[in-house]
């Protein structure tokens, strides 16, 4: 996603791009989550008083493991992009809300690839559940309790806490 600054006219520049999951780089699949579809970008660039405003959305389907039963869960993900690019290292602005990122660029072209990869990677889910009623895995035999019940003892009492059961509140 390299954009020539001269291509950003007075009315701005809109980009609608699609990249495959391989665009993210990295050959091994993450144990937590991964991108499972093409990544769609809708980006609007606007040049104002020496700075370039980059706004838009990134959309893709992610696959993550359920935190309770370890089944694969598909998560439809949308990321908002809100970036201001300055032509030099001159000054970095502080935004009270923290919703806008500030970066710099050099020369006559802007390379958005690293920033967009970072946004995708930061938005991958790290903890999901397949459903609110997910029963998880049996602590004894490891069977997925959503698929079938097992015959393991369900109530094991920890002897360290046996003193507490006689306390009346």
Output the pLDDT for position 66: 92
Which pTM does this prediction carry?
0.72
CB 111 within 8 A of CB 2: yes
Look at residue 157 in the predicted model and tell me its pLDDT. 66
pLDDT in tens, the chain (169 residues): 888 888 888 888 999 999 988 888 765 555 678 888 999 999 999 988 778 899 999 999 999 999 999 999 999 999 999 988 887 654 445 444 457 777 777 778 888 988 999 999 888 888 899 999 999 998 888 889 999 888 887 666 667 877 887 888 8
């Amino acid at each position: 996603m390299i954009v020539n600054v001269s291509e950003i006219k007075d009315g701005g520049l809109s980009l609608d791009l699609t990249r495959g999951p391989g665009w993210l780089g990295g050959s091994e699949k993450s144990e937590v989550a991964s991108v499972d579809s093409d990544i769609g970008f809708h980006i609007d660039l606007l040049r104002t008083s020496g700075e370039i405003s980059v706004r838009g959305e990134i959309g893709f389907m992610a696959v993550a493991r359920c935190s309770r039963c370890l089944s694969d869960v598909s998560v439809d993900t949308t990321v908002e992009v809100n970036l201001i690019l300055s032509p030099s290292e001159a000054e970095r602005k502080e935004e009270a809300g923290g919703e806008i990122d500030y970066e710099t660029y050099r020369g006559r072209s802007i390379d958005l690839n690293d920033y967009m990869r970072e946004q995708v990677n930061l938005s991958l889910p790290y903890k999901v559940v397949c459903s609110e009623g997910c029963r998880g895995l049996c602590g004894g035999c490891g069977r997925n309790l959503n698929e079938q019940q097992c015959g393991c003892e369900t109530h094991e009492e920890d002897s360290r806490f046996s003193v507490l059961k006689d306390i009346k509140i």
